[in-house]
Chain A
């Protein structure tokens, strides 16, 4: 039995070596309208370096407590390097983590987190 107790964690540690590489940082400027954001629809504007040549950008909002359904919205490019999502709906007051998930034309993935409180 002791052998099993030692073996199982060691096997898990071995599996950890297979961890995939994460996305690169996006380095975007994010603005909320209204600021601070309110319950209901909000506009989120994201300014990204045009050199990154993004082809898609998704905005995902998670509450900091486990178990809450995330809010997701696709952003659209309104001008070079400027993306926005019109109706990003905050469903509860409290702390939110906004994750920007982007992909460029070559398929390279980017990610950025922004923490915000909906008062």
Chain B
């Protein structure tokens, strides 16, 4: 608790609301309604991305507001995630389906890293951003996947091991200024039921865990689905902010505390797979932004001539593999070099684990800078698209004003992106040197810092390029 300062649950209205057993449902319902509207417009509305609620809400507002929420509060979008409203139907389905346990080998982030890379490839290859119909199918796919995994595996498996979006949120929320923790760790030491993890049932004999009283006819408060034990939480990783722990604790000993943004980068010890998630999210974020500038199309043209193919899948796959492979290889190499400079000889993976946390601030800045651009460029376009979708549904809301778009003048956008990247670099530097000082490896931190400086410069170069939004890598010969 020393790292957590003000407890947001002490705020009268907020604390009371979050302790209410239907508070999560109340947060999920608006997003479910928006998802349904996106599905309706995506399937039946005009198939033009800037004028369809599915594409505008998903690719502009969801992504933009997500990073904003993570930066100013925490992982609020997982807290309000409508995907978990499949829970009712899955509880019914569980009666008829075999109950499996998630394979031990997949109880890490590697599977979700692979899914994220596949998803990002699909995003570019099928131009999901340009297709309301495919965006609607993506939403259906997410709900379907949540249903299947939740029906067959223990609750929380989907969020922790499968959901690319959730894990993206987990990684970014390591930057957040708030975190769940114990008000008084001593109370947790005396707690026999570990209700924050095991759930609670109030019986006449006192609180029992859900397993101890499986059939007790009394209010039941589920515990943490991703199996985080509150007094041991040092990171926002895997925390969906569902507040189950708050409701399950019979001693009112759970805090939603404020902390310095990014503090956990200095203090937490991430496992190898989590470090990889941060590293790959940085390089994937770079690639996602790079895919929108002329240099990317020139590279594709050059590669097309070199390989003698116009297959977009092959070219896109090659560029992704090249960039990710190069990024991973260089990052490993620089980590080993940093270790050597500080007098350590370790395996490359261990070196990466030592220095890899510095990529989390960089990843946050990369995605925040990119998403901020799109969100600020077109934030008000949600008004006419929502209006149009509701008009289609027969609600008399007047004619949409399609000129509504930007939140800030266009010439503010690049300076804002630069500021975000600088903040990311500053966060990474602080993380690096604070950790290195503790371990007596400041020279190694300087090596990583130099590498991050190059990456930040490259990122700024990408963001400075004129944007080009093309659905095809290669121009057709006629154009």
Q: Which of A's residues lie within 8 Å of B, judged by CB?
A: 1-2, 4-5, 8-9, 12, 15-20, 36, 60, 62-70, 72, 92-95, 97, 99, 113, 117, 119
Contact = CB atoms under 8 A, between A and B. Distances in A.
A60 B52 CA distance: 15
A59 B88 CA distance: 48
B381 A66 contact: yes
Interface stretch (B55-63, B221-229, B359-367, B416-424): B55-63
Nearest to B471: A95
B171 to A, nearest CB: 24
A16 to B, nearest CB: 6
Most interface-central of A19, A69, A92, A95 (chain B CB within 10 A): A69
A58 to B, nearest CB: 11
Given A64-B469, A66-B60, A93-B466, A5 B88 contact: yes
Nearest to A17: B394
Indicate the size class of the contact surface on chain B: 35 or more
A15 B394 contact: yes
Given A65-B469, A66-B56, 11 more contacts: A5-B88, A8-B33, A18-B394, A20-B391, A66-B60, A68-B50, A92-B466, A92-B467, A93-B294, A94-B470, A119-B475
A64 B51 CA distance: 9
Contact of B49 (A12, A15, A66, A119): A66
B406 interface: yes
Contact of A94 (B33, B374, B467): B467
Contact of A12 (B36, B374, B405): B36
A19 B392 contact: yes
Contact of A70 (B40, B59, B60, B402): B402
Contact of A66 (B88, B129, B391, B472): B129
A64 B49 contact: yes
B118 interface: no
A70 B50 contact: yes
B130 interface: yes
A67 B59 CA distance: 9
Contacts of B22: 1
A19 B476 CA distance: 37
Contacts of B471: 64, 95
Interface string B375-408: 1011101000000000111110000001101100
Contacts of A113: 48
Most interface-central of A2, A9, A36, A68 (chain B CB within 10 A): A68
Contacts of A67: 50, 56, 59-60, 374-375, 377-379, 381, 405
A5 B22 CA distance: 14
Contacts of B469: 63-65, 68, 92, 94-95
Contacts of A64: 48-50, 127, 129-130, 469, 471
Given A1-B25, A5-B88, A65 B466 contact: no
A18 B475 CA distance: 41
B406 A16 contact: no
B65 interface: no
A67 B294 CA distance: 20
Contacts of A12: 36-37, 40, 393
B468 interface: yes
Interface string B30-68: 001100110010001000111110011001100000000
B475 A95 contact: no
A117 B470 contact: yes
Contacts of B36: 8-9, 12
Contact of B403 (A2, A8, A69): A69
B479 interface: yes
24 contacts: A1-B88, A2-B88, A5-B32, A15-B395, A19-B394, A20-B392, A60-B402, A62-B49, A64-B48, A66-B129, A66-B381, A67-B56, A68-B50, A68-B377, A68-B378, A68-B469, A72-B402, A92-B466, A92-B468, A92-B469, A93-B467, A94-B467, A117-B470, A119-B479
Nearest to B479: A36
A95 to B, nearest CB: 5
B85 interface: yes
A80 to B, nearest CB: 30
Contact of A62 (B51, B392, B467): B51
A97 B44 CA distance: 18
Contacts of A97: 48
Q: Which 7 A-B pairs have the closest CB atoms?
A: A67-B378, A18-B394, A94-B469, A64-B130, A15-B393, A93-B468, A69-B405
A93 B468 CA distance: 5
Nearest to A18: B394
B49 A65 contact: yes
Nearest to B25: A1
B32 A8 contact: yes
Contacts of A99: 48
A69 B376 CA distance: 12
Contacts of B32: 5, 8
Contacts of B40: 12, 16
A8 to B, nearest CB: 7
A19 B44 contact: yes
A72 B189 CA distance: 67
A65 B44 contact: no
Most interface-central of A12, A63, A113 (chain B CB within 10 A): A63
Contacts of A15: 393-395
